[in-house]
Amino acid sequence: MADDPADDDAELFRAAIGPVRRLPDTTPPPAAPMPRPRARMAERDEAQAREQFRHALDESLLDAGDALSYRRDEVSPRLLQKLKRGEISVQEELDLHGADTREAELLLRAFLHDARLHGVGCVRVVHGKGLHGAATIASSGMPVLKNLVDRMLRQRADVLAFHSAPPAQGGTGAVLILLAPRRLRSS
């Protein structure tokens, strides 16, 4: 088997590359790092808290005829009464009719940010009563946009107070919002 073509090829290869020297052994690459430990108990507690929060929200949902009302401690009850009666001039308005929840949330955030940026003190947001259309009524029969607006306004630091508008300005289908004055940054 001296005439084996594989032996000829190997001999030709060795002749073509010339003398070979062995490379020193290299150290193996480091092992992949251990995965970071997960805080499984914290994740479970957080999921449980979210679920409890969701149930609490379901219990506190507003109905179509319910009035929205909120004031921070630093706002006097008298000022809230003036807002409730519509005695504070509304400078800007946003109408959320026909918007889905995601769109309404984005519009409301942008509207409030823009209003505060321009020094607007009082705005009206028309959310509707949630009496028409499947998109405006939750499976529980509660108005979606009205409850979304209520939750969002309560969480914003720039909202001092809000109350459902008087009947002539939209009643329980609209809300008047008193915004905190814009603080100027000192240079």
Please write the tens of the pLDDT for every residue from 127-149: 988 765 544 445 556 788 888 89
Give residue 165's pLDDT band: very low, low, confident or very high (50, 70, 90).
Answer: very high
Would you give the end-to-end CA distance of the chain in angstroms?
Answer: 91
Residue 163 phi, psi (nearest 5): -155, 150
The residue that leads in pLDDT, 74 or 44, is 74
Whole-angstrom Cα distance, residue 143 to residue 163? 17
pLDDT of residue 58: 55
Whole-angstrom Cα distance, residue 133 to residue 96? 14
| Structural domains for the chain | 64-179 (3.30.1370.110)
pLDDT of residue 134: 47
122-126 and 92-95 strand pairing: parallel
pLDDT of residue 133: 53
Nearest-CA neighbor of 142 among 64, 65, 69?
64
Dig out the tokens for 143 from the structure: 């108005």
Dig out the tokens for 131 from the structure: 């009496």
Mean pLDDT value of segment 173-185: 84
Nearest-CA neighbor of 128 among 169, 93, 95?
95
Please work out, in degrees rounded to the nearest 5, the angle formed at the alpha carbon of residue 169 by the alpha carbons of 137 and 120. 100
Q: Is the pLDDT of residue 112 over 90?
A: yes
pLDDT of residue 95: 94
pLDDT of residue 141: 66
Sorted by sequence, the CB contacts under 8 Å of residue 129 that are 6+ apart come out as 64, 65, 143, 146, 171, 172, 173
Q: Is the pLDDT of residue 111 over 90?
A: yes
Taking residue 14's Cβ as centre, other Cβ atoms within 10 Å add up to 11
Nearest-CA neighbor of 90 among 142, 13, 165?
165
Give residue 187's pLDDT band: very low, low, confident or very high (50, 70, 90).
Answer: very low
pLDDT of residue 132: 56
Q: Is the pLDDT of residue 174 over 80?
A: yes
